[in-house]
Amino acid sequence: MDRKSALILLLCVFLCAATSVSKETTDLSSLEPFNKADRVLILAPHPDDEVIGCAGVIQEAVIAGAQVRVVYLTNGEHNEFAFIVYEKRIPLRQGEFIHMGQVRRSESIKSMKLLGVNEDKLTFLGYPDFGTFSIFSQYWQTDKPYKTILTRISSVPYKENLSYGKPYVGESVLGDLKNILINYKPNRIFVSHPADVNGDHRSLYLFLQIALSDLKKELPAAKIYPYLVHCVGWPLPRHYHPELSLQPPQKFSSLGWLNLSLSDGQLSKKHEAILMHKSQTRSSAFYLLSFCRRNEIFADYPQIQLKSQDLSGGTPLKFSGFSDLYQNIIEDDSGAIKDCAKSGGGGVSFAIADRSLFVRIEKEGGFAKKFAFVLYLFGYNEKKNFFQMPKIRVFAKNKKIKVFDGRKMLAPAGVSFERNANTITLRVPLSVLGDPDFILASMKGYGGILPVGAIAFRKIVIKQGGGDE
């Protein structure tokens, strides 16, 4: 058997195994039924995410007589490959990218009407596709807004959108989202997942966390239901399989997922609604239609609550809130990626002591020499405006550390780390983080320039008083 035949056989075995796993029944709790008093808000990073993740939710809410609104963070204008396939030309000029966003907007309007939501219940913001995580992490209090890579646009270009003309800065996005929440007052919010590998999906979750924290005294608490779209190797098998159920990715199976079952009619409408996104399905139907299953699923990470520990007298530091270090990408044939973070499980956990946040990264089998990581730490203090809070990124490689607040490099200012065979422990003074009430934290590991693992964004609440959890 030659190499090509062997690879084909291996692929067939893999797909058969994936299919059998997808057919298994996982015990999931049911999503709470909708009722006429519900005010449902669907937050979509791009046009089509609302259908992929929540078409069943939308139909159930409409049937129950609940109010439904959909808000789109971007118009999805930077999916160049999809538009090359769809329009059979290469977009080069600024206006062509804006046209892409207008096409995707019109597709969502049509698909939502099919599901029972009229255009007046849809809000398009129009912030930059593929750029909102950079805005969240780096563009606050600046007269130089984020500028898109391909078009060099730095403000919302869509005249029909709510946010037309607003600069690409964090204050614009956060302000729009807060106004929507205040005016609509949703009690159930469906939003993209913090473990999603797409930056716009993660950033929408983060903006929502900050907006709800700012408004907690003005709004009743809403229930949050994150939905996952982009996850390497999931869902399998690809293509349209309405006979199968959608199971959580194995690496996130412990999150306590909620399940919404779809009737045959609802599934048929979801299928039709996805196909209305022709600009995307002509190139990616095999992927988008793999979400046409018998159910939809939702889950979030629990908060990590930490109390400050007293380390006097040599008391060992206790870490909490362990998050699995999961693979972002599939290992290649050369084994180069596998070489960067050696085999075995691992994860990240946290502790508070001596007015510092401690982050411990563990890896069974140890770390290769070229292993490096970037740690994102976004603090929130209810006594300060969020735009005033540091947006910290810590880059660590070998024994060197670089610390950034937004785009500005800082002196390490007490930030340090210790590297052993199987653990790396990082210390960041809380003063560097703006003395936060809570922290939104995530980590990515690299082997050279390639990502080898990550943890999703976790909310770390710093509790008052001494002791530990």
pLDDT of residue 90: 77
The predicted-structure confidence for 153-162, as pLDDT tens digits, reads as follows: 999 999 999 9
pTM passes above 0.85: yes
Rounded to whole angstroms, how far apart are CA atoms 114 and 58? 11
Residue with tokens 């797909």: 15
Q: Determine, yes or no, domain membership for 162.
A: yes
pLDDT of residue 177: 98
Rounded to whole angstroms, how far apart are CA atoms 44 and 120? 16
User: Would you say residue 13 has pLDDT above 70?
Assistant: no
CB atoms within 10 A of CB 467: 9
Rounded to whole angstroms, how far apart are CA atoms 450 and 329? 9
Average predicted confidence (pLDDT) for the chain: 88
CB atoms within 10 A of CB 265: 9
φ, ψ for residue 261, nearest 5 deg: -80, 140
Average pLDDT over residues 262-275: 98
Q: Determine, yes or no, domain membership for 81.
A: yes
Same domain assignment for residues 66 and 193: yes
Same domain assignment for residues 251 and 332: no
Q: Determine, yes or no, domain membership for 15.
A: no
Q: Determine, yes or no, domain membership for 376.
A: yes
Q: Determine, yes or no, domain membership for 8.
A: no
pLDDT of residue 363: 83
CB atoms within 10 A of CB 1: 8
Same domain assignment for residues 39 and 134: yes
Given 298, 315, 343, which residue is the final one in a domain? Answer: 298
User: Would you say residue 467 has pLDDT above 50?
Assistant: no
Dihedral in degrees, nearest 10, Cα atoms 210, 214, 215, 216? 90
pLDDT of residue 464: 65
User: Would you say residue 16 has pLDDT above 50?
Assistant: no
Same domain assignment for residues 113 and 174: yes
Of 41-50, 228-237, 334-343, minimum mean pLDDT range: 334-343
Amino acid at residue number 67: Q
Same domain assignment for residues 83 and 182: yes
Given 298, 332, 351, which residue is the final one in a domain? Answer: 298
Q: Determine, yes or no, domain membership for 10.
A: no
Same domain assignment for residues 211 and 152: yes
Amino acid at residue number 179: N
Kindly list the distances between the CA atom of residue 284 and the CA atoms of 12, 78, 80, 356, 409, in Å, as whole numbers in the listed order. 21, 15, 12, 46, 40
Q: Determine, yes or no, domain membership for 263.
A: yes
Average pLDDT over residues 195-211: 97
Task: Map residue 113 onto helix, strand or coil.
Answer: helix
Kindly list the distances between the CA atom of residue 318 and the CA atoms of 115, 311, 361, 379, 457, in Å, as whole numbers in the listed order. 50, 10, 13, 22, 21
pLDDT of residue 3: 40
CB atoms within 10 A of CB 274: 21
Same domain assignment for residues 109 and 195: yes
Instruction: Find, among 205, 175, 91, 221, the residue nearest to 167 by Cα.
Output: 175
Same domain assignment for residues 166 and 284: yes
Average pLDDT over residues 95-101: 87
pLDDT of residue 469: 39
The predicted-structure confidence for 436-456, as pLDDT tens digits, reads as follows: 999 999 999 887 777 778 899
CB atoms within 10 A of CB 345: 11
Same domain assignment for residues 238 and 340: no
Residues 6+ apart with CB under 8 A from 40: 34, 57, 58, 61, 66, 67, 68, 69, 186, 188, 189, 190
Same domain assignment for residues 184 and 52: yes
Same domain assignment for residues 120 and 227: yes
Q: Determine, yes or no, domain membership for 146.
A: yes
Strand order of the β-sheet with 188-192 is 122-127, 67-74, 39-44, 188-192, 223-227
User: Would you say residue 22 has pLDDT above 60?
Assistant: no
The count of domains in the chain is: 2
**What CATH code is carried by the domain that includes residue 397?**
2.60.40.1190
Residue 340's domain comprises 304-463
pLDDT classification of 337: cutoffs 50, 70, 90: very low
pLDDT classification of 26: cutoffs 50, 70, 90: low
**What CATH code is carried by the domain that includes residue 104?**
3.40.50.10320
pLDDT classification of 365: cutoffs 50, 70, 90: confident
Cβ burial, residue 332 (10 Å; 0-12/13-18/19+): exposed
Rounded to whole angstroms, how far apart are CA atoms 377 and 426? 12
Task: Map residue 364 onto helix, strand or coil.
Answer: coil
Given 265, 298, 331, which residue is the final one in a domain? Answer: 298
Task: Please answer whether residues 349 and 360 qualify as being in contact, where contact means their C-beta atoms are separated by less than 8 angstroms.
Answer: yes
Rounded to whole angstroms, how far apart are CA atoms 443 and 196? 13
Rounded to whole angstroms, how far apart are CA atoms 40 and 188? 5
CB atoms within 10 A of CB 313: 5
